Amino acid sequence: MDENDGLNDQDFFLREENHLKDDNYDYNKKKVSMLLKKNNITEKCDGENDVEKCSDKNNQIEDNIINENNLEIIQDIQNYENDDNKSSNIKNTLIHKDIPLKIHNIISSANLDTEIDLRLVAVSIKSAEYNPSKINTLIIRINHPKCTALIFKSGRIMLTGTKSKTDSINGCKKIGKIIKLVTNQNIRLKNFKIENIIASANCNIPVRLEMLAHDHKDYCNYEPELFAGLVYRYKPTSNLKSVILIFVSGKIIITGCKSIQKLNTVFQDIYNVLVQYKS
């Protein structure tokens, strides 16, 4: 049973406050409390009649934070936002021969350019999770855009769960503003980049996987006794590489691409290969 079970919010925050003091943290309770009260981050529900009202108010917290006029973060990602303007307009699907390529997840990273007090952020935000005994990383979940952020003490952010580059950028900005609000540190969001894009498609082409594995044995791994799909390691150049799962029904899963343009290129190339092995 978790030791946190049975504790209400007040007991939890009191315990965490004592823990901070025991660890010799320079913890200014009055300053943080006023800051959190101003932005309604730790809104509580007193009684069953107030639960719905409180829930609606807490759902607006993130929007209030993102709209704060006095929170400005210096960003070094303007050039990245302007890159691939044509491909950035493609949100969830890409079309090749009337076949939709659906993006399921985009994993991105950024840096806040400062060290973060993870415990202080964890006890200040309800949507944060921090368990240093398992992993020394702070987890924050936000709803607009819907994503999950892993924050390291060094200030590095790993963001997952978004389905477009715009949502990834906005998610990193929002996490930076939340941390700036709680810690009152000078946050500088920089070095944003997409680490991985996961997408899938149904080519509607029955594929002869045995022949494909034989002819492309240097790039393929196919063991039907262990896994029904063929693993195709696509690497035409050092800058363009991907891992593709191909199934006999013609369904494919593409991982490893770091931009929408590269994803589209990989899909076009692998589609042309699958046509040659149509059963």
Span 153-168, average pLDDT: 93
Other CB atoms within a 10 A radius of the CB of residue 197 amount to 25
Residue type, 19: H
CB 109 within 8 A of CB 120: no
87 neighbors 166 (Cβ within 8 angstroms):
no
- 29 or 257: which leads in pLDDT: 257
Task: Round the average pLDDT of the chain to a whole number and report it.
Answer: 75
pLDDT at position 80? 52
Report how far apart, in Å, the C-alpha atoms of 87 and of each of 29, 91, 211, 262 are.
47, 9, 34, 10
* Per-domain boundaries in the chain: 107-194, 203-277
CA-to-CA separations, 50 to 37, 41, 46, 55, 57, in angstroms, rounded: 18, 16, 6, 8, 10
What's the average model confidence in pLDDT over 211-216?
92
Alpha helices in 60-204 (DSSP H): 61-66, 78-82, 85-88, 118-124, 165-183
pLDDT(226) > 90:
yes
Distance of CA 192 to the CA centre of its chain: 12
Q: Are 114 and 152 in contact (CB under 8 A)?
A: no
- Cβ-contact 42, 62 below 8 angstroms: no
34-38, 172-176, 240-244: least confident range: 34-38
Asked if the domains at 107-194 and 203-277 fall in one CATH topology, the answer is: yes
* pLDDT given at position 193: 92
Return d(Cα 164, Cα 169) in angstroms, integer: 9
Query: Tell me: the pLDDT tens digits for 165-179?
Result: 999 999 999 999 989
Architecture of domain 203-277: 2-Layer Sandwich (3.30)
| pLDDT confidence of residue 91 | 39
Interval 72-103: pLDDT, tens: 444 445 555 555 544 444 434 444 557 888 99
CATH number listed for the domain at residues 107-194:
3.30.310.10
**Alpha-carbon dihedral angle through residues 129, 80, 62, 177, given to the nearest 10 degrees:** 70
pLDDT of residue 73: 46
- The 10s digit of each residue's pLDDT in 49-64 is 444 444 455 445 444 4
